[in-house]
Structure 1
Amino acid sequence: MKPVRGQVMKIKAPWQNHTYIIDCHNKCSYIIPNIGLTTLGGTKQINYNTRISNLDREHIKSTCESIVPSLRTAEVVREVVGLRPSRSKVRIEAEILQRQNKHLKLVHNYGHGGAGITLSIGCAKEAADLVEMLLLRNKL
């Protein structure tokens, strides 16, 4: 596991209805409309820095505004930096652990790094299927 530093901006852009994603080595640009706010991103850096970077802010703004020029007039509500767990491959698998004569059922679903928002629906579906499989295993 490695930390992936992500810096994003949350803006008011109710006219924005389309998602754009451009992935690069250590920086990625994306525009993701949500209910109420639009997320502009971002960074994809392997480090523990959780401070807002002016350099990254300018990269996010200039890249996203070059894709959708109308974002220049959007109000910035907040900026966020976070560390996201990353690994070479997302881990989604079921496991049964033996602890004190008990079977503990566990579903792993982590390591998405900076792609969590784009992978969330598919990974959640796969994890839910694994939970269902583990629950049905007792009934067989």
Structure 2
Amino acid sequence: MRDDDVVVVGSGVIGLTTAVVLAERGRRVRVWAEEPARGTTSAVAGGLWWPYRIEPDELVSGWALRSLAAYREWAADSGRTGVRMVDGVQAQTRLDGLGPWAAEVPGLRAATPEECAGPGLWARLPLIDMPTHLAWLRERLLASGGTVQERAVGALGDALAEAPVVVNCSGLGARALVPDGEVRPVRGQLVIVENPGVRTWYGRVDPVSHEATYLLPQPGGLILGGTSRDDDWSLEPDPDEAADIVRRCALVRPEVAGARVIEHRVGLRPARSAVRLAREVRDGGVLVHNYGHGGAGVTVAWGCAQEAARLATAAS
């Protein structure tokens, strides 16, 4: 074991981004994950930057805006990074209903009646093709001397036995691994269809139900969503929910109704009352927690990674 060794537990967007930051700061980083990145919840995420159902407000703004700045830079090489800047509308949303981050988003404004029926906001935001982005993060990690090991982690103490610093980015796995009973699944279902020509994104969240309506044009097809079912562990697509998703999206863009379905996806967002980004001493080593991001992991990944790296560096 070397003093600069770090083990990052988890290979989703939070884990890989944290590992990249640490490796590029000169640490010898190993990522431990039971599943490769392509098998994580991050890989099936829609990929739109937007602070969604994530706390605490006073910290989220900074994390999200630092991530936004990084994504805007990476969009210049979208073919490699998977990040594109795309115009779209967040319906049924007003500026005064958002957190302090909204005032810092370039170009965010009230949508015109032509852009959105009813109140809404127009913005040009990062829309991230997650399989491409996760592969790029992995390549960036390897280029900086890091490694990725597929191995089950039965206890955080196992990692602490092999490195003086461990960063726990285990997402939903933190429920058993920490253990942290506050972590719970929020089930999301998506339908991917052949894109009939939709070039802008659209989002609308129903504040009183588990439903959301969004259309996200990605290279592999048009992503239609979605659902947010608390404490639902099922990974099986529900045909009735899928039909309802298509129906809701077709009310926004009628051409979607006849689009050929390519794929159904289900992911379990790792939700918590607030993100846990903190340091503790355990088993003679230092443990930095970075989990509980719910459906906004992509939105805050870079900002949270920088803070986790700061805690890990200060700890050692």
Instruction: Judge conservation of contact 1:28–1:41 (CA < 8 Å) in 2.
Output: yes
> What does residue 31 of structure 1 align with?
215
Quote the residue 2:186 is aligned against: 4
Give 2:301's aligned residue.
124
Asked if 2 retains the 8 angstrom alpha-carbon contact of 1:94 and 1:134, the reply is: yes
The count of aligned residue pairs is 131
Distance verdict in 2 for CA 1:135–1:43, change over 3 Å: closer
User: What's the secondary structure of 2:233's corresponding residue?
Assistant: coil
Closer/same/farther in 2, CA of residues 129 and 42 from structure 1, 3 Å limit: same
Matches within 5 A, 1:40-55: 40-46=224-230, 47-55=232-240
C-alpha displacement of 1:52: 2.2
Indicate which of 272, 284, 293 corresponds to 1:87. 272
CA contact (8 A) 2:212 2:228 kept: yes
Residues 83, 131 of structure 1: alpha-carbon distance in 2 compared, 3 angstrom cutoff: closer
* Distance in 1 of aligned mates of 2:312 and 2:273: 29
| Cα distance in structure 2, aligned partners of 1:14 and 1:130 | 41
Q: Secondary structure at the match of 1:70?
A: helix
1:99 equivalenced with 2:283 (yes/no): yes
Deviations 1:77-121 (A, max 9, x none): 1112232222223x1513142322x3x242413241xx33xx513
**Residues 19, 33 of structure 1: 8 Å contact kept:** yes
Structure 1's 52 and 94: CA in aligned 2 closer, same or farther, altered over 3 A? same
1:81–1:98 Cα change, 3 Å: closer
Please give the secondary structure, in 2, of the residue aligned with 1:128: helix
2:246 to 61, 64, 72: 61
Q: Cα gap change, 1:135/1:52 in structure 2, threshold over 3 Å: closer, same or farther?
A: closer
Gaps of 5+ in 1: none
Paired residue secondary structure (2:308)? helix
Q: SS of the counterpart of 2:199?
A: coil
RMSD: 2.3
Higher normalized strand content (fraction of residues) = 1
State the 4+ residue runs in structure 1 displaced beyond 3 angstroms.
none
Q: Which amino acid aligns with 1:11?
A: V
The structural deviation recorded for 1:15 is 2.5
SS at match of 1:88: coil
Amino acid at match of 1:31: L
Tell which deviates more after alignment, 123-132 or 55-64. 123-132
Against the structure 1 CA distance between its residues 92 and 12, is the aligned structure 2 distance closer, same or farther, given a 3 Å change threshold? Answer: farther
* TM-score using structure 2 length: 0.37
Question: Which segment is superposed worse, 80-89 or 55-64?
Answer: 80-89
